[in-house]
Amino acid sequence: MAKRVLITGVAGQAGSYLAEFLLSMGYKVFGLLHRGSANSLYRISHIQDRIVLLSGDLLDYDSLLAAIETSEPDEVYNLAAQTYIPASWDQPVSTGEFTALGVARLLEAIRAVNGKIRFYQASTSEVFGKVEESPQNETTPFRPRSPYGVAKCYGHWLTSNYREHYDMFACAGICYNHESPRRDLSFVTRKISYGAAQISLGLKDKLEIGSLDACRDWGFTGDYVKAMWMMLQQQQPQDYVIATGISHSVLQFCELAFNHAHLDWRKHVVSTPALTRSTDTNLLRGDASKAHRELGWKPETSFEVLIRMLVDHDINLLTEKIDAKKGARA
């Protein structure tokens, strides 16, 4: 009999890649869909007929209980969250309700229905915040620098506490920045690749971004969802850092992206201090040696290949839009 899985945030970037991967592994996939997300299904449109979508909300315990009772999952992956850091400063209370207390509601619903369900919590490198050591591993102290990071710390530690107190199979994956063509345009990676594509097609001339010095450990989302699954296949539940172990600056990202679009980034990229947050974390680099050793996981997609993937996607996307407009006028 096929394993059954429930994914919260199934229509998001990571959720869509995870759903694809689990379908390829023979799972029956259920996805929790927020009531206001009916118009945001483009990331899963190609697999929508192969998954079962359930209405639910991390703010509503009863809806989570109903979703778990209906799906009867062997595994639950909680990928739903308010993930945009600037928005967490604008909406700190709702970020806490959704990203922090939502984990509590979901864990309680799982415990009420079947405490043997295996649970994955999407943690983040933002829990480390103002880092005290680099690279960071599973024992590095948390010092979050945003309401989002604080909320994720709550979800991380609650997962650990439910594992220890209730003997639940509950894991947290501390995933570093994972990118793909499905990343929202508000994030710096897509902002850069989309901007390079626009400039290469003559649609604009300048790209304004924040600090060029900020460094991140960037990987491909398609690689990272495999690590999430691997965590729930182990004999014992543990938390893992998932990262490439290599950090790059925003400047390096710009240089490679614009080079791939046959452009000189120095002629088009403008660093605007107003777009830089005073609480930004400047150097995040993960040590995923535990995941390498115990899960047998390693990233398969290089930084350079990832950037080419994003730029090529955005050039093709914009070219299609231009052709569609020309066709409409013809």
CATH of residue 152: 3.40.50.720
Looking at the structure, tell me whether residues 41 and 120 fall in a common domain: yes
How many domains does the chain contain in total? 2
What confidence score (pLDDT) does residue 41 get? Answer: 92
- 203 in a domain, yes or no? yes
Q: Does 158 share its domain with 209?
A: no
pLDDT at 327: 74
Could you tell me if 297 and 228 are in contact, meaning their C-beta atoms sit under 8 angstroms apart?
no
Same domain flag for 207 and 107: no
Indicate whether 166 and 206 sit together in one domain: no
Among 8, 83, 99, 124, the one annotated catalytic: 124
Task: Kindly state whether residues 259 and 228 are assigned to the same domain.
Answer: no
Q: What is the mean pLDDT of the chain?
A: 93
Q: Are residues 129 and 206 in the same domain?
A: no
**pLDDT at res. 152:** 96
Out of 17, 27, 148, 176, pick the active-site residue.
148
Which member of 8, 95, 99, 126 is catalytic? 126
Q: Is residue 83 part of a domain?
A: yes
Give residue 38's pLDDT: 58
Residue 240 catalytic? no
Number of residues assigned to the chain: 330
Q: State yes or no: pLDDT of 328 exceeds 80.
A: no
268: Cβ contacts below 8 Å, ≥ 6 apart: 195, 196, 199, 205, 206, 207, 258
pLDDT, mean of residues 7-27: 97
> Which of the two residues, 49 and 132, has the higher pLDDT score?
49
**Same domain as 212, residue 223:** no
298 is a domain residue: no
Determine, yes or no, domain membership for 290.
no
Residues of the chain above pLDDT 90, percent? 82
Q: Does 118 map to a domain?
A: yes
Has residue 211 been placed in a domain?
yes
Per-residue pLDDT reduced to its tens digit, 65-97? 999 999 999 999 999 976 656 666 677 888 888
Least confident residue range of 11-15, 35-39, 207-211, 308-312: 35-39
My answer on whether 21 and 129 are in the same domain is yes
First to last CA, the chain: 54
User: What would the mean pLDDT of 16-32 be, rounded to a whole number?
Assistant: 98
Q: Residue 309 is part of a domain; what is its CATH number?
A: 3.90.25.10
Q: 162 with 129, same domain?
A: yes
> Per-residue pLDDT for 237 more than 70?
yes
CA distance 103 to 59: 10
Specify if 149 maps to a domain. Answer: yes
The rounded distance, in Å, linking the Cα atoms of 107 and 113 is 10
User: Would residue 29 count as lying in a domain?
Assistant: yes
| Residue 151 confidence (pLDDT) | 95
Q: Do residues 173 and 192 both lie within one domain?
A: no
Is 17 one of the catalytic residues?
no
What does pTM read for this prediction?
A: 0.94
Active site residue 126: yes
CA distance 126 to 143: 8
Band (310; pLDDT cuts 50, 70, 90): very high
Reading the block at residue 253, the tokens are 């990202």
Residue 330 has pLDDT above 80, yes or no: no
Q: What's the average model confidence in pLDDT over 179-190?
A: 95
Please give the biggest Cα pair distance in the chain: 67
β-bridge pairing 28-33 and 52-55: parallel
Q: Rounded CA gap, 15 and 174, in Å?
A: 16
282 has a pLDDT exceeding 60: no
Which structural domain range is residue 73 located in? Answer: 4-179+218-242
Shared domain check, 223 and 96: yes
By the 10 Å C-beta count (0-12 exposed, 13-18 middle, 19+ buried), 275 is classed as middle
